[in-house]
Amino acid sequence: MGETNHGPVRLIVFGRQGAGKGTQAARLSERFGIPHISTGDMLREAVREGTDFGKQAKEYMDAGQLLPDDVMLGLVSERLARPDTERGWLLDGFPRTAGQAADLQRLVPEGGITAAINLEVPEDVVVERISSRRVCTECGTIYSTNDESARSGTCEKCGGEVVQRDDDTEEAVRERLATYNEQTAPLLDHFDAQGLLATVDGVGDPDDVASRVNVALDPSLPHPQ
């Protein structure tokens, strides 16, 4: 059950692919009883439900184009207006530019954003994590190269073929990380300048990382209501 002894908690989580962002976001969502809002999930849901912004988003996506800031902000605004965000929310995948960050902050009600958490994991570590990942082509189970199923090439759960995805090769991962670093550095500077950035060492056991996140976050929490 989430904590209830404070006002709304509004968090943004940053981290390189493979930094363990999903694991920590799920823990924070449970701790505070707030929805974990992933941009990718939100986009798919808006398109599926056929909202006005969802229809606009589909046009750009079908054309293979990036969504303009106003469409992305509209989608986010729709999602943040839902009743389940009364106690706050956790955003993952938005904002992606300093301009989007400024737009988001104008959108947020009184009390603003609680904190922007940056899970810091060295690039070589996440490259190793992702490039050692193998996946079953049938059921999607993920393995490490140390697992027997990865070594044998056969999934222990369904018997499907276990392979390395094309986008999990070291070259592909480093290319994505270069783009992430280029896009995210100005964002981290944006939140740091406002005293909202909490950078946390993301290397190690997930429980230890979660403890570091909580320690970094607690001074930012709003006062009890």
Show the tokens assigned to 205. 């056991």
Task: Indicate the pairing of strand 142-144 with strand 115-120.
Answer: unpaired
The amino acid that residue 25 corresponds to is A
Backbone angles phi, psi at 156, to 5 degrees: -75, -15
Of residues 31, 58, 87, 96, which has the active-site annotation? 96
Of residues 21, 79, 129, 134, which has the active-site annotation? 21
Q: Confirm whether 27 is a catalytic residue.
A: no
The answer for 113, left when phi > 0, alpha when psi is -120 to 50, beta otherwise, is beta
CA–CA dist 86, 195 (Å, integer): 24
Of residues 44, 58, 176, 212, which has the active-site annotation? 176
Q: Confirm whether 174 is a catalytic residue.
A: no
User: Cα 130–20–75 angle (5° rounding)?
Assistant: 105
Find out whether 195 and 171 touch, Cβ atoms under 8 Å: no
Q: Confirm whether 165 is a catalytic residue.
A: yes
Q: Confirm whether 16 is a catalytic residue.
A: no
Find out whether 211 and 218 touch, Cβ atoms under 8 Å: no
Please name which of 187, 138, 181 lies closest in space to residue 163, comparing C-alpha atoms: 138
- Walk across the sheet containing 115-120 and list its strands: 36-38, 88-92, 9-15, 115-120, 197-201
Q: Give the active site residues.
A: 21, 96, 133, 165, 176
